[in-house]
Structures are given as structure tokens and as C-alpha cells.
Amino acid sequence: MDTRLDVQPDFPAIKAQQNAAWSSGDYAVIGTTLQIVGETLAESMDLPPGARVLDVAAGNGNATLAFARRWHRVTSTDYVAALLDKGRARAQAEGLDVSFGLADAEALPFGDAAFDAVVSTFGVMFAPNQQKAAAELARTCRPGGLIGLASWTADGFIGQLFRTLGAHVAPPAGLRSPAIWGDRDWIEHTFRPVAAAIDVTPRQFVFRYRAPGHFIEVFRSLYGPVHKAFLSLDDDAQAALETDLLGLIARFDVARDGTMSVPGAYVECVIRKA
């Protein structure tokens, strides 16, 4: 049993550290490669045009753009201002009318039942107080509305990437893995009290890079958690982390030509609020 989980997390300190991590590097470059996930979620939810949609922990706006392209009235929120700026620029480039605003996923600045749908793709799952964040999704969604989520699984590539990072840089004491959002039982237990229906669909996003080394180069430079992990280690420890990441990629890589093609398991959840 991990005694670190018996410690009460310091949520404000953890959020400050997370904000610094996601603000480092340039996640938007990586985020744009995940666009298909937002499009798939929007298709699955099948909302009528004009629906009021809140994107929580939106990053640089993958789900935001997907729903706005379907003529929904989208409010895009994140607690990292630089990522919202990137999302705003993308929306402006496409001529999409989207509202943007800073917001903490654990304390959303909106009234009860303010939206027809509340969504998050690989965003809200990283909120440290997971129960509070889940409660905020449900609170801001109207009765009969939809909550749509895309979350990495613990045994998939990204879940294992974070586990690898945690073996080299200890995560904050008392914090549960973000990958619980990719666990069907946790989703059922957490949302069943407020749900009329819960649909959980296993999906995969394929990470395609020129080579395993190219993936590490990109993530080490641009993906906040990996970027910060490498910065916190000395040269020998950095080399050990890189070796472990290459081994992780080798476990999942289906490419046979020297490039990288790694399926990353995630779950897509569509919850209809009671």
C-alpha cells in the first residue's frame, strides 16, 4: 500500500506546480495533434446546433473548435492563460465565435445548470481534487444535458508514461493518478448519483512521430510534465529517464520502419445528467 496516498494533499500548492508545468514548454504544439479526439467526442455527443457548451481545462482548444465548428455556443476555459491565447488565435483564424476565460476546473465561475453540455478532453482529469472537479462538471450542466469526457487510461501509453515519470520524480504526496478518470468503475461510482445514463467507449489515439527519439525530443521540449521532469534531474538521471521512456515506447510501438506509431488508449464518456 502506498503510504503517500494517506497524506492530505496540499491542493493549492499542487495546482501552482501544475500551472507552472503546463505553462512551460509549448503544449499547444502537441495539443493540436490531438484534434481528432475533440471531433470524435463532438460527433458522439450529437448536440443540436446552438447548444451552450462549456469546455473545461480546454488547453489550446481542441474540443472548443470541434464543437464551435458544429455551430454550438462554446465557452472555452483553462487556468493557463497562454493556452487560452493559443485557442483564441485558432478560433479567430477559422472565424469561429467562441468565448474564452480563465477558470479553475474545481471552482467554475458559472451558475448551476448554465450549459447544455460540459466537456473536457485530457484536461479535467489532471485537476488534483478529482471529486470536486467532477462535482463542478455536474453542477454546471443542466438536467438532461450531457457531460462529455476523453481521459487516458492507466494501462495505456500515456498512463504508463506518467507512471514512468513518477518512478524518477515523485508525484505530490496524497495525489491519486489522473488516470482514474479512464477507469469505468470510477466513472460509474462518481457520476451515477447525478446520471440518467453513462456511456463509456474505449478508444485509441495513435501517436505518430518520425522516430522514438523524435517523440522524446518533442515531449521533452514542449510537454510540460515531461519538460519539468527532465529539468529536475541531473545528467545521469536524465539519461536513465530517457532510457526508460525508450523502453516504454518499444513496448507499445507497432511501427516496423524506424518511425513511431504508438496506440494510446483512452476512454470516451458521455454522461446524460438526470
Domain spans in the chain, listed from the N-terminal domain onward: 3-206+264-273
Would you call 5 helix, strand, or coil by DSSP? Answer: helix
Half-sphere exposure of 204 (CA within 13 A, CB side): 11
pLDDT for the residue 178: 94
pLDDT for the residue 3: 38
pLDDT for the residue 15: 75
Would you call 141 helix, strand, or coil by DSSP? Answer: strand
pLDDT in single tens digits along all 274 residues of the chain: 343 456 677 887 777 777 777 777 788 899 999 999 999 999 999 999 999 999 999 999 999 999 999 999 999 999 999 999 999 999 999 999 999 999 999 999 999 999 999 999 999 999 999 999 999 999 999 999 999 999 999 999 999 999 999 999 988 777 889 999 999 999 999 999 999 999 999 999 999 999 999 999 999 999 989 999 999 999 999 999 999 999 999 999 999 999 999 999 999 999 999 9
pLDDT for the residue 16: 75
Within 8 A by CB and 6+ apart from 121, the residues are 34, 37, 38, 41, 59, 62, 63, 149, 150
pLDDT for the residue 139: 98
> In terms of Cα–Cα distance, which of 148, 156, 86, 150 is closest to 121?
150
Q: Which residues of 214-242 are buried (b: 16+ CB within 10 A; e: fewer)?
A: ebbebbbebbbbbbbbbeeeeeeebeebb
> In terms of Cα–Cα distance, which of 54, 200, 196 is closest to 117?
54
Write the single-letter amino acid at 218: V
Instruction: Say yes or no: domain 3-206+264-273 is CATH 3.10.110.10.
Output: no
pLDDT for the residue 135: 98
